[in-house]
A = this chain, B = another copy of it.
Amino acid sequence: MEDSVVDGFLTEWHRLVREKDTAAIPAMLAENVAIGPPPYWNRLEGKDAVAFLLGVILSTIEDFTYRREWRNGAELALEFSGNVEGKPLQGIDLITLDSEGRVSKIDVPMRPVGTINVLIEKVTPQMMNYLESLGGDKQGEQR
């Protein structure tokens, strides 16, 4: 992985986070991007669904600010802090880039659990609506 590819990814990633430009997320993701799934949805896969989830999370966390950053070839660890309803949140984007500098895998461990629970309460209804809007098609296919 060339440093310039990672540099380019990080510059654009930081820009879209800073500007909450969620519309720019899909272009940063590989088609078959995988995310470590939260417990209550199993169907989350592919660029569109992962981009939607990341957009919802980014929109929900207040004062989202990147902190320490680690790079090891195509493996990145981007620490962030923020708030959810006034409760402090610390997390880290663990990102694997593909050869074209797009996210092929992302996991987002966070703490503390009290804030995670508030975040999930706020994110879940939006994800459920989104998944239902897909589910209609899938049910149709199963008939």
Contact with B along A103-119 (1 / 0, CB 8 A): 00001111111101100
Q: Could you say which of B69, B71, B92 contacts A109, with CB atoms under 8 Å apart?
A: B92
Contact with B along A48-71 (1 / 0, CB 8 A): 000000000000000000001111
Q: Is the CB of A94 within 8 A of B117?
A: no
Interface presence of A37 (CB below 8 A)? yes
Q: Tell me the number of copies of this protein.
A: 2
Interface presence of A31 (CB below 8 A)? no
Query: Which A residues from 89 to 143 make CB contacts under 8 A with B?
Result: 90-92, 94, 107-114, 116-117, 120
Chain B residues, CB < 8 A from A79: 77, 94
Chain B residues, CB < 8 A from A68: 72, 75, 77, 94
Q: How far is the CB of A118 from chain B (nearest CB, A)?
A: 11
Q: Is the CB of A39 within 8 A of B112?
A: yes
Chain B residues, CB < 8 A from A75: 68, 70
Cα separation A75 to B69 with both chains bound (whole Å): 9
**In the complex, given contacts A38-B112, A39-B114, A110-B110, what are 5 additional A-B residue pairs having Cβ atoms less than 8 angstroms apart?**
A68-B77, A70-B70, A107-B111, A113-B116, A113-B117
